[in-house]
Structure 1
């Protein structure tokens, strides 16, 4: 199975916080899931922790390479820039990743790298992996929190994404 492509400054284990969530489900494909992840207007329909999504550069609402956007998540107003965008293609994993940041002083600044990887697996299964590394004082606090809000929030995102893909597939 494939792995996330990490920028050097955001390698897991060398940042203040790291969250990893993954699902492997039968009966769906990357083609079923990708549109619901790439189109940001779908996010709030299946993930309660994403709101106020807007694009700065006239692109969107579908993510694309280099697109600049913002959204609110975990109570943070996150600015983002897509740093990796590989749509589905036969024989390769689909990928999307963004560098995100929350402006602030030394106590409030947050920098993240959030990446997604989708791949079809044998037996009519799809794998969806999302991982995020974070730097900054808020990340240190998030890493200490129990239950872990990043793990739980990203699991909600994955579960909602999969359920929405199942509903959309049945409607076809």
Structure 2
């Protein structure tokens, strides 16, 4: 599995997409490793020593957020140094270095009695009142569909509101 950087393919792709998103951010330095990053009316404070940002995305994901990437660019620091070691190709390859053995037959398993005696039931649920919904609920990211006229073929209206004369 050839990899060009020290990061995994997914982490490298994530870095490039965040790098492109942060192209128009402005940096106001506080000291040698801290800065304030502004974008539109949003600002975030980045500390490169503690690997933290006030947007909390950097703290939670252990992947540099767009603000941290801009700070790295400003201070001329490689973004690759801020990634967690778990996103490196070395960590990926070491996780698959040892053999993973199958669990065997369920009859041969040694299960303690206090676990074997427990009965796990499905959760208690009730059917909602009313007629079941037949139409799929669209996702929040999906845009609205524009209607298409069956008479003229143009988008934005239907055949009932079409201004073209009937052929």
TM range (shorter): under 0.3
When normalised by structure 1's length, the TM-score is 0.23
Higher strand share: 1
TM-score, length of structure 2 as denominator length? 0.23
